[in-house]
Amino acid sequence: MYARSLGDDGAELRPLEPWHAEEFLAHLDRGREFIGQYIAFGAGATDVDSARVLLTAYADKRTADAGSLHGIWLEGKLVGGVLFRTFDAQQGNCEAGCWLEPAAAGRGLVTRAVRMLIDWAVDERGMHRVEWHAASANQPSVNVARRLGMTRDGVLRESRLHQGIRHDIEVWSVLAPEWRAARARTAHNDH
């Protein structure tokens, strides 16, 4: 399987597979409170079997071309991940997302990993629109959308109930022509 470098800090993006269940559970346990502040991702994975069920569900989504899960490893340790929560190749729309344990926050890992996912979705799969949904209060996630050059399409007011609190959800997106143009500008400025 692949392992793609995310930079010179020892970070890699790799597939997150059902056979990673023990490592995935240990990672979730290290970051469960931090991860669960705004999203329910992994909340039901409380033992190896339930962790495997979650990973298998995403393996099945990948097989059905409907989503995928990718782990972020830092110096050989699983510290987070990125995903296509939804992936509709026929319509050319998908939604990317992320989670991260606190020890790995603030290093730009998610931004670099999502950039790699968007490159693949646009260039290899012909996706036209990539969305990013984040609770308005989740500033690190909102900042990822900004760093990626996404446009805030709007706010779904109090649309997500999480841990007894109704959260506003911001919807951000980037269209394939915008993504390609921004990448070309970056490449031109690097020369």
pLDDT of residue 2: 78
Q: How many residues does the chain have?
A: 191
Give CA–CA dist 29/23, Å, rounded: 10
Q: Where are the beta strands (DSSP E) in the chain?
A: 4-5, 11-15, 68-74, 77-88, 93-100, 129-135, 151-162, 165-175
pLDDT of residue 62: 94
What's the rounded mean pLDDT across residues 30-58? Answer: 93
pLDDT of residue 5: 87
pLDDT of residue 185: 81
CATH superfamily of the 4-190 domain: Gcn5-related N-acetyltransferase (GNAT) (3.40.630.30)
Q: Are 112 and 4 in contact, with CB atoms under 8 Å apart?
A: no
What's the rounded mean pLDDT across residues 63-67? Answer: 95
Domain boundaries, the chain: 4-190
Residue 1 pLDDT greater than 60, yes or no? no
